Structures are given as C-alpha cells and as structure tokens.
Structure 1
Amino acid sequence: MSTPHLASLSSFRALRHRQFVAVWLGALVSNVGTWMEVLALGVFVTEVTGRAEWTGGVAALTYLPSLVLSPLGGALADRFDRRVFISLCAVAQALLAACLAGLAFTGHLTVHAVAVISLLNGCVHVLSGPAYTALITGLVPKEDLHSAMTLMSAQFNLGRILGPVFAAALLAFGGVAWVMFLNTLSFMAVLLAVSRVHAEPPVVRPIEPKGLWADIVEGARMARGEPGIRMAMVSLFALALFISPFIALVPVFALQVFGSDASAASALISMQGMGALLASGVVGALAVRWGRERVVDLAVLVMGPVTVFYWLSPTLPVAMGTMFVLGAVYLVVMTGLSTRYQERTPRELQGRVSSLAMLLINVGYSVGVWAQGALADRVGVRAVTASSAALFLVAMVGLRLQRPRTVDVAST
C-alpha cells in the first residue's frame, strides 16, 4: 500500500495510492503516443507548407473547441460516472488516430485532413479533460494533491521525452504512418488504467435536478467569487497566451531558424521534458523548505526571462540548454497554479471549475500559437516569441501587485 521511502519524499507521496499509480502509467503510455503524433504532424505540416502560420494554425485547432465545449465537458464530468466517460472518449480518440494512420498508409494524408482530424480530436479532448482532472483529484487525499499534480505533469513530460525520440526514429525508417498506428494502440493503456479505478460514491444532487446551463453557471460563479481561483486562472490564461506557443513552434524553430531536421525538433522537445522531470523530483522539497506559494510565485516571475533567453539562443546547443531550464520552470508554474485552484474547489464542483481552467488555457493557447505563428512569418520567429515572453513578465508583475492579500493568507 505505501512505501516509507516514497512517503518521506513529498514530491512522490501520491505514489502510495495504487489507483493513482494505475492511472499514471496508463496516461504515460498514451502521452508517449500523443507526443509521437505531435512531432510527426508538426514536421509534416512544416515540410509541406513551409510556413509557421500553418504549423501554429493546425496546432491551434486541437484547442479551439474549448471555447464552446469545455464548460459542457465540466458539467458532464460532474453528472456521470467519470470512468465510463473517459473510456468512451479514449475510444473516440483511438478511432481518430486510426483515421490518420489509414490516410498515411494509403498515401492520402494532406494538411487539410490533418487540420480536420486535429479539430475533431480537440473536441474529444476538451470533453474528457475535466473528467480526467476530477478523477485524479479523487484518487488521493487533499494533502497529496500537489504531489499528484506534479507527478501527472512529470509523466506528461516523460512522454514528451520518449515520444519525440520514437517519432524521429520512425519518421526516418518507417514514415508518418507508423507513428499514427502506434498512437492508436496507445489509447488501449487508458482503457486498462481506468478499469482499475473503483467507482466513486454518487454525488448527492438536488431533488429537482438543474439543467446543464445552470450547472455551468454555478461553476463559473465559484471560480469568479473565490480570489485564489480567479487569480490562478488569469495567470494560466496569460501563460497559455504568451508562453505556451513555444511547444507547437519547436519544429519551426528547429527547421527554419537553425536549418536542421526532425531530429533537432525531437531533441528540443526532449530537453523540455527532461527539465520538467528534474523539477518534478525537487519541487516538493523546495515547497517544504520555502513554502509552495513562494516557490510558484518565484517561478512565475522568472518564466518570462527564461523564455526570452530560449528564443534568442544563438545556436542549437544553447537552445537545448535553455529549453531544459524552460521545461523545469514551466512545470513548476503550471502545476502550482493548477493545484492552487483545485485545492480551493469543492469536490462536487471540480469538473466544472476544471473545465473553466481548461477553457482559458486552450483558448489562450489557440490564439497565442496562431497569432505568434502568423506574425513570425512576417517579422521573424525570434522577435515575435521573445516579445510575447516579455509581455508575460509585465502582466505577471502587474497581477502580483494587484493580488488581494486574502489569496496569500489562504495559501499559508
């Protein structure tokens, strides 16, 4: 049931819970497949079109459905068995990946087909995301929530390391079709993991059930009315808008700025993942020593400068080094802000509040990655992305100055 050594390490305390471990492993396998697909499709679109706007635009389509579907996904996550809901979404994503594989194997894969399937995949991901987040928070007690969120980010970034490495090898020897095929199989791990999770006790609902819209409004009022949740979500939106596009624009940076190939893009993505893995192992100890909120606030302030240094890197080796640091800081910021709003949310509202956070993150990312990609084609990748990172620093300093004192009190 528990391991004393792991229990003594605050970053790994969530590993004491077997159901969490099962979901963690299933998510890892699925994320390896997803990151294989992300790199392969990014390289495919960049090579076919030669334009950063297309690369960023196709990536944005995966997150754009959040504008409409994210609140709906949150309401559904709080109404139905989350295990069944997640399983159905995993099957749908596997079918979409199979469509990409079929088109690639038959030589009919096009940028437009990638765009359409990315949009559909985004719809499914947006609907399942709140249920997945709510499921995770129910697998561990509140005192282990930050550990669980850190470990989930760690597995996401471990997938970011392994996926591009496998994808680069397959692109060199087997082509994009085999990448899509293996990603299809990876969703089976999600189904197996969810089958190991016990059913949750039913949520006590009003005798006269409210409609979906009323549920969505209730979650929005909760998020707007609680200062800590509100400030965390504003920060996450700014992070997605100004900083997160670096993820989708890696192929552009590697191929167009440094004149390299898919292996360079794979190396940059992997360096981000390794930085995040390192951070996931030490952030718990740092939080115990200096306080979690202080660590997160410091990471938020250095996020902008670190990203500027990455985009202005003069050579590929320097970019790889700064990407390592960027990956570490990015994990601390993302997990810290996510934990901040989740630990303040009642269990019965977690799906809806998580969906609002996903809405802000995905809309911010969609707008940011498309706008930065489009501007990069006109004025240069480095100028646009570095300026965006500087704007994030300005926004976070201003937000910190306006933050209500009640947020700091509630965080201690």
Structure 2
Amino acid sequence: MRALRLPHLSSLRAFEHPGYLAVWLGALISNIGTWMETVAMGVYVTQETGRAEWTGGIVALAFLPSVILSPLGGALADRFDRRVYVALGIAVQLVLAAVLTVLAFIGELTVPIVGVVTLLNGCASTLTNPAFSAMLAELVPPRDLHSAMSLNSAQYNLGRIVGPLLAALVLQMGGASWALLINTLSFVASLIALSRVTLPSRDTPRTKESLWAGITRGISVARADEDISRVLWGTLFVAALVAPFIGLVPVFAINVFGQGAAATSLLVACQGAGAVVAAVVVGTLADALGHRKLLGFAAMSIGVVSAVYWMSPTLTVAAAVIFVLGANYLTLMSGLHAFATSRVPRDMQARVSSLYSMVLGGGYAAGVWALGALADRVGVRFVTVTASVIFLALVLTLRLLSPRSFDDSRA
C-alpha cells in the first residue's frame, strides 16, 4: 500500500506511513460492524426492558473488565509479538459476535445473554487494546504520535457515523440478526490488515521481569510523573460524569423524545461526525496552540456543551449539539491519551496506555450505570445535567488551585 502525502495537514501525517494506514482501514471496517451491533443491541435492550438502568448496565459490562484487566493487558503487550497478540484478541471477538448472531437468527437471544457476551467481549478488548495502541505508536515516528492517536479516534467515530446509519437500514429491512451478522464478518477486515503489517524491531531487549513486576513498574512510572497522574484523574472524571452521554443515547432518543432506532442512529452518527471533523484539525490546533492549552480549553468547554445537550428541547437541537459534543470529546480524550503516552519510553507505552484504558473504562462503567439508575428515579435530564455541572466545577477548581496545569511553557 502506497503512503499518502499530506504535507500541509499535520493532523493527517500518520497516513504517510503505509503500515499505519493499512491497520487504520481494517479497524474502520471492523468498527462499522461494531457500531451496527451496538445500536442494534442498545435498541433491543431499551425496548425489551424500558429502563435506562438496564441499558446503562449492559453498556457498563463492556467496560467493567478494564478495571481489573487493563494493567494485565499492558504488561502482556510488552511480552509478545503485538501483531499476533492483537490478531488473537480480534479472533476471540469474532467468535463472540458469531454466537450473538446465531442466537438472534434462531430466536434465542435474551437480555441476560446479551449481557454475558458483552462482558466477555469487554474482557477480550480490554486485554487487546493496550497492545493495539502501542502497535500504532510503533508504526509512526514520535512526532506523528498525536496524529496517529487522533486519526485512530477518527476511524472509531467514522464507524460511529456509518455503522448506525447502516444499522437503522438493516434493522428496518431485516432485523437485529442481520446487523449482528455484518458485525461478525467485519472482524475479518482487521485480521487481513494485520497480516500485511510488519512491525519495526524493538529498540530495547524484551523484558525478563515477572508479569506482576511489569504491572507495578508501569503504575510506579505513572505515579511518579505528575502530569500523567493528572491526566489519569482527569480521564476518570470525564469518564464518570460526561462520557455516559454515549451509552445513554438510546434512552434519550426513546424515553425522552419518544422515538426509536432511527433517532438513536441519528444521534450516534452526529456524535461521530463531530469527532471526525475534530480529528482532522486537532493535530494542527495542538501544533498551533500547544497541547496543554488545547487540553485546557477542551476540558473547560465539555461540561458546558454536555449540559446544553441534555437540555435540548427537540431531537433536531440534540443532534446539532451532540455534533459539537462529539468534537469536544474526541479533542479532549485523544489529547489526554497522546499526552500521557508521549511522556514515557516506547517500552512503557503499552502499560501507560493500559492505565488510561483502566481509568476510562472503569469510570465509564460506573458512570453510565449510576446515571442510568438515577435517571429511572429522578429523570434523565436532571441527573445528566447535574453531572455535567459537577465536572465543570471540578475543572474550574483545578484552574484555581493549579493555574499552570495546562501551560505549555512547562517542561
């Protein structure tokens, strides 16, 4: 595959590296299928139960394993050939997707089964994601790491645009079973892409330390770096208080606006579109403003934008605001991830990435379930707007207590 030459768009520089581009395209196809499944199962659970707590709980099961397994995944990623390790994880996810597909076609799919498969899939992806992130870092030079992370988020969100739109069409024409079948087949694209990639040789010899020692060393490195610690705390608060807007989209569309799968798909696609637009420009903005300033602006604004989204009076307004929210969320989260990863040597990047995934997944799992449960009792809008305001208050407090936290003049 030939490299793309995009000299005037620093946000797209990672595409100049053929290995990265191949993996990116394979992951995009796979994520289109994943988002078809996500929308189909979100609508299924919401319609079957009618409760935000169930919808949020099923979503939480996908991220709950990250609390325990992310550090293990990071340590394992530094012990094996990352390409083979990632391929194995994808193969497991393919099998789980096939199980859901078969059960749907024979009419044996139930909400508890969806929950069990979601939990197992969360285990597989949690163990694989640190290796995948570290593999991306190996495919580009350090100066293009922010571009690589942002574009990886962009392909995820392109899948968020195309997948829900296809899901709405497939659900209307053939039902959930066909959406699940397409997702199962989409994993093949990632496996083909990985087969065409050769990773560069490691600069350092493979570690001989024990698995537990590798995990604890990663934690120690993160704790010793004040900036990485701050990034992880920030990620936790975003995940618990703001990010649940992603998993609760079916609740907002169905229970608040009285719509169905089409409205759910619209909101998910609009969020993805905003994220893709942000991914195209975020690297250039980071170069122009500085990484810390851009992160500071994104952190300040996301609480406000999130609150406005949850107060939207109509579906049309919500679709417009979630576009902005999607852009804001990608800017903040890809920036936090890239910033933390860039502060450690390559042999530690998978472990730092795993800590980021642990905090993000654990915070999101707790937040989406808790907000969903509270929403059933006191109302979706009240709970989610309150969470957004709390996050904004935390950011303002950090600004007052540590005004230089996002100052690029710091070393």
Q: TM-score under structure 1 normalisation? A: 0.96
1:3 Cα deviation (Å)? Answer: 4.7
Return the alpha-carbon distance in structure 1 between the equivalents of residues 236 and 190 of structure 2. 28
Return the alpha-carbon distance in structure 2 between the equivalents of residues 257 and 87 of structure 1. 40
Return the alpha-carbon distance in structure 2 between the equivalents of residues 219 and 289 of structure 1. 31
Change (3 A) 1:193 1:288: same
Do structure 1's residue 57 and structure 2's residue 57 form an aligned pair?
A: yes
Where structure 1 has 5 or more consecutive residues not aligned to the other structure, the ranges are none
Partner of 1:381: 380
Pairing 1:3-22 to 2, within 5 Å after superposition? 3-4=4-5, 6-22=6-22
Partner of 2:164: 164
Return the alpha-carbon distance in structure 1 between the equivalents of residues 43 and 326 of structure 2. 21
Partner of 1:280: 279
SS in 2 for 1:259: coil
Partner of 1:311: 310
Return the alpha-carbon distance in structure 1 between the equivalents of residues 206 and 155 of structure 2. 34
1:287 Cα deviation (Å)? Answer: 2.3
Do structure 1's residue 340 and structure 2's residue 335 form an aligned pair?
A: no
Pairing 1:51-90 to 2, within 5 Å after superposition? 51-90=51-90
* Alpha-carbon displacement from aligned partner over 1:185-204 (angstroms, at most 9, x marks no partner): 11111111111221342441
Return the alpha-carbon distance in structure 1 between the equivalents of residues 409 and 150 of structure 2. 21
Q: Residue 290 of structure 2 contacts residue 408 of structure 2 at CA under 8 Å; is this kept in 1?
A: no
- The residue identity in structure 1 corresponding to 2:262 is S
Pairing 1:353-392 to 2, within 5 Å after superposition? 353-392=352-391
Partner of 1:187: 187
- The residue identity in structure 2 corresponding to 1:378 is R
Change (3 A) 1:154 1:367: same
Return the alpha-carbon distance in structure 1 between the equivalents of residues 157 and 328 of structure 2. 12
Change (3 A) 1:245 1:25: same
Structure 1 vs Structure 2 CA RMSD: 1.5
Partner of 1:204: 205
Pairing 1:128-147 to 2, within 5 Å after superposition? 128-147=128-147
Change (3 A) 1:292 1:233: same
1:401 Cα deviation (Å)? Answer: 3.5
Change (3 A) 1:403 1:376: same
SS in 1 for 2:334: helix
Change (3 A) 1:411 1:273: farther
Q: Which moved more, 1:98-107 or 1:270-279?
A: 270-279
Runs of 4+ in 1 over 3 A off after TM superposition: 1-4, 400-412
Where structure 2 has 5 or more consecutive residues not aligned to the other structure, the ranges are none
Return the alpha-carbon distance in structure 1 between the equivalents of residues 42 and 283 of structure 2. 34
Q: Residue 101 of structure 1 contacts residue 181 of structure 1 at CA under 8 Å; is this kept in 2?
A: yes
- The residue identity in structure 1 corresponding to 2:286 is A
1:225 Cα deviation (Å)? Answer: 0.6
Return the alpha-carbon distance in structure 2 between the equivalents of residues 94 and 81 of structure 1. 20
Return the alpha-carbon distance in structure 1 between the equivalents of residues 403 and 138 of structure 2. 29
Partner of 2:30: 30
- The residue identity in structure 1 corresponding to 2:322 is M
Q: Residue 147 of structure 1 contacts residue 284 of structure 1 at CA under 8 Å; is this kept in 2?
A: yes
Return the alpha-carbon distance in structure 2 between the equivalents of residues 127 and 226 of structure 1. 24
Q: Residue 292 of structure 2 contacts residue 406 of structure 2 at CA under 8 Å; is this kept in 1?
A: no
Q: Residue 65 of structure 2 contacts residue 126 of structure 2 at CA under 8 Å; is this kept in 1?
A: yes
Change (3 A) 1:404 1:75: farther
Return the alpha-carbon distance in structure 2 between the equivalents of residues 11 and 119 of structure 1. 34
Partner of 2:234: 235
Partner of 2:107: 107
Q: Residue 293 of structure 2 contacts residue 406 of structure 2 at CA under 8 Å; is this kept in 1?
A: no
Change (3 A) 1:50 1:43: same
Q: Residue 238 of structure 1 contacts residue 364 of structure 1 at CA under 8 Å; is this kept in 2?
A: yes
Return the alpha-carbon distance in structure 1 between the equivalents of residues 404 and 317 of structure 2. 40
Change (3 A) 1:35 1:406: closer
- The residue identity in structure 1 corresponding to 2:124 is V
* Alpha-carbon displacement from aligned partner over 1:252-274 (angstroms, at most 9, x marks no partner): 00001000110001000111111
SS in 2 for 1:7: coil
1:275 Cα deviation (Å)? Answer: 0.8
Partner of 2:149: 149
- The residue identity in structure 2 corresponding to 1:185 is L
Return the alpha-carbon distance in structure 1 between the equivalents of residues 268 and 293 of structure 2. 28
Return the alpha-carbon distance in structure 1 between the equivalents of residues 129 and 196 of structure 2. 19
* Alpha-carbon displacement from aligned partner over 1:347-390 (angstroms, at most 9, x marks no partner): 11111111111110000000000000000000000000111111
Partner of 1:269: 268
Return the alpha-carbon distance in structure 2 between the equivalents of residues 199 and 285 of structure 1. 27
Change (3 A) 1:3 1:118: closer
Q: Residue 161 of structure 2 contacts residue 273 of structure 2 at CA under 8 Å; is this kept in 1?
A: yes
* Alpha-carbon displacement from aligned partner over 1:60-84 (angstroms, at most 9, x marks no partner): 0001111211111111001110001
Q: Residue 7 of structure 1 contacts residue 16 of structure 1 at CA under 8 Å; is this kept in 2?
A: no
Return the alpha-carbon distance in structure 1 between the equivalents of residues 312 and 109 of structure 2. 34
Q: Residue 296 of structure 2 contacts residue 406 of structure 2 at CA under 8 Å; is this kept in 1?
A: no
SS in 2 for 1:62: helix
1:405 Cα deviation (Å)? Answer: 4.7
Q: Residue 305 of structure 1 contacts residue 389 of structure 1 at CA under 8 Å; is this kept in 2?
A: yes
* Alpha-carbon displacement from aligned partner over 1:152-201 (angstroms, at most 9, x marks no partner): 11111110000000111111111111111110111111111111221342
1:288 Cα deviation (Å)? Answer: 2.9
Return the alpha-carbon distance in structure 1 between the equivalents of residues 339 and 135 of structure 2. 17
Do structure 1's residue 289 and structure 2's residue 295 form an aligned pair?
A: no
1:406 Cα deviation (Å)? Answer: 7.8
